[in-house]
Structure 1
């Protein structure tokens, strides 16, 4: 049941999850990588940026080397990256809040200038009358088409996802690397002089070891080698046993969930496994989103061939009970989950009924997609009915022959 596993964005990579996690990834994918040459504690590379979009406004000058006593945020973005666009107002807020503290945010795209200029006069989503140009004029927006800055920072640090930010401290060293939406606390502590660089560096090292272990686990699980995959998880759990911060607690919870999912996928329906998942169901009660997430994980396991016993029926009952109280926007998707789970169990009448409810709750393009899914279910039901009829006829013929 590997789809149950998902670490917070700052602690994992999208390739481990198989699901969107709010981080857009650079082209080329995530391959086996050498040790990073740029990390927390490294001297920040000089910047050689070709185009400064708002240089004429005079708020900030171009940046090459980093001045002693000043603090910089070097952030990487792209026009095609939704999470990057979503982060822009937060960068504005940080720049305005800390301008007097000697903070300069330099945001770099490695696209061509024409591409970036193409969005500047458009209204920023959700801010009618405010263009991208007006919004981003609060900080230093730049374009570096030759990719030299991307090479010096992103690739040197083995960072594959954008947006990504590098916090350069008062002495020109990299203090922090991460998603810009998580920048507030480390930036404030660097300003105040209370930032613990070494502690964060160790946290990043733990994160890297976790990612490497989970890549191995996912590979083993994909090959059906559940026993060895579980052993790897147990070793990681041992490492994080004494880590009492937020990351440690969350990782232990997620790894435990993943471990039980693997046990279920391997066919383990022991009392221990069933008790764990029934506990998860109980915790999700009253939280439609949590119930939908749990149901999706279980449905995925069933579709991959896992035999989940009574847990399927118990989940269907619990999921159906949450639909009416859910946000109207997610009700159609919850009905779809009911339909897909029933279809996975070859209960096509119940699946079709649930899919029709999803259509009733939908409109526009979503309704069209739901109707298409209903047609597919009806086709599957016809095939299933024909197959069963053929099997029955063969059985009757065999009995007559005897």
Structure 2
């Protein structure tokens, strides 16, 4: 039986800080009050400070929304890996629907210097194409005072980026979601076939889900795993039989949480282990999916769960996928390798992986990776000291 170590929480938080992208950490929090902006609301006017490509003259700055036109108001940041990954898709949509009165307005609330700092860099995976050249297809903007973020993101209680708001021909919010899922709603809004009320019900179901997940998290945090599993099975009943893409995806996520709870409760039955093995197998060739899986498994280990052979299998999958991952994702994948090896007492392998995380990072993220490396070396020295004390002969022997 492998011995899993509960690594100090301070180190695991520090090691992941900055490397864990929105892809992994942008969870939903239960709403504390009703959102003031939702589907069907009038879209707030925009008061944006900087238009990056204004000199190109492709689009006019947007304040109010012209009747008959369709707009996508999208929020992003330079540090957000999924935001960067969404850029080519936004380009594709803008080019496809440019002649149909569609304008994509992408807003960062960072300072202008930060955004301008990436514009001359090559876009990852597109050698010879800079961020500036790529994003010139749509309206890239910077709004440092955060007014647009307040009016949209906070008013709608959207906690993760990238996030897009689809403004229809009458100036109402038709859809809110991840820009990679924008295709069908945008096409249907343009065609006049979009069912806003059905989507509102979908969002209401999502809110009920969030509230239920708060209860489930509370039960799990209290160690009441059986009650938490029963609660999640009750939630799953609401989504069973629904065939829309969002509901199917939610049901899959709920099933994964259910099996994670079983794992956290000490269940290493064939049913549980085979479920996770199938998840790992299905993620092959998708570094982002491997990272999500690994992050979840590492969380279970940090809760004190013995995950058995799944740890070694996950480390092997991470190693296989890391070099082919997007540059922004690689530091996280190396950190996960470091954490999992450390949890198994393999500090040499853990330090090697953390060193690679340092090498693959820049700026503040690099500093955090270096701090994590120093912490890890200290843990390794402590472990060695404990082993030396154990091996030393007692006085009088």
Q: Same fold (TM over 0.5)?
A: yes
- Contact 1:77/1:109 (<8 A) preserved: yes
Structure 2 residue 378 is matched with structure 1 residue 383: no
Q: Could you report, residue by residue, the CA deviation over 1:247-291 in whole angstroms, capped at 9, with x for unpaired residues?
A: 333333332332233234334x4xxx6132132255245966788
SS in 2 for 1:56: helix
| CA shift for structure 1 position 138 | 1.8
Corresponding position: 1:22 with 2:32: no
Q: Which residue of 2 aligns with 1:226?
A: 225
- Does the Cα contact within 8 Å between 2:48 and 2:142 map onto a contact in 1? yes
Aligned to 2:165, the other structure's residue is in SS state: strand
The answer for the alignment partner of 1:52 in structure 2 is 51
Structure 1 residues 353 and 245, CA, compared in 2 at 3 Å: closer, same or farther?
A: same
Relative distance call for 1:216 and 1:122 in structure 2 (3 A) is same
Q: What are the equivalent positions in structure 2 for 1:140-219 lying under 5 Å apart? A: 140-219=139-218
Assess if the C-alpha contact under 8 Å between 1:108 and 1:143 holds in 2: yes
Find the counterpart in structure 2 of residue 274 from structure 1.
269
What are the equivalent positions in structure 2 for 1:89-168 lying under 5 Å apart?
89-168=88-167
Q: Contact 1:23–1:163 (CA<8 Å) still a contact in 2?
A: no
CA RMSD of aligned residues (A): 4.2
Give yes or no for contact 2:26–2:160 (8 Å, CA) kept in 1. Answer: yes
Aligned partner of residue 108 in structure 1, secondary structure: strand
The match for 1:347 is none
Preserved contact between residue 285 and residue 291 of structure 1 (Cα < 8 Å): no
Q: Distance in 1 between matches of 2:357 and 2:110?
A: 37
Secondary structure of the equivalent of 2:156? Answer: coil
Note the residue ranges of structure 1 that are not aligned, 5 or more in a row: 1-17, 344-350, 398-402
Q: Deviations over 1:50-101 (max 9, x none)?
A: 3333333222222222222211111122334333333222222211111111
**C-alpha contact 1:217 1:232 (8 A) present in aligned 2:** yes
CA distance in 1 between counterparts of 2:86 and 2:142 reads: 17
Q: How many residues align?
A: 356
TM-score (norm 1): 0.71
* Partner of residue 33, structure 2: 34
Q: Given that residues 296 and 337 in structure 1 are in contact (C-alpha distance below 8 angstroms), is that contact kept between their aligned partners in structure 2?
A: no
User: Which residue of structure 1 aligns with residue 68 of structure 2?
Assistant: 69
1: CA distance, partners of 2:219 / 2:76? 34
**Unpaired stretches in structure 2, ≥5 consecutive residues:** 1-18, 325-332, 361-368
- The structural deviation recorded for 1:223 is 2.8
Q: Larger relative CO (CA 8 A, sep 6+): 1 or 2? A: 2
Q: Write the deviation string for residues 113-165 of structure 1: whole angstroms up to 9, x where unpaired.
A: 44444444444444444443333222222333333222221111111222211
Question: SS at 1:22's partner residue?
Answer: helix
Computing the radius of gyration from Cα coordinates, the structure with the larger value is: 1
Check 1:252–1:107 CA distance in 2 against 1; reply closer, same or farther (3 A cut).
closer
CA shift, 1:318, in A, is 5.6
Structure 1: distance between partners of 2:47 and 2:277: 55
Contact 2:263 2:272 in 1 (8 A): no
Stretch of structure 1 that moved more, 101-110 or 113-122: 113-122
Deviations 1:310-351 (A, max 9, x none): x62x5467668x6699457499889767744543xxxxxxx4
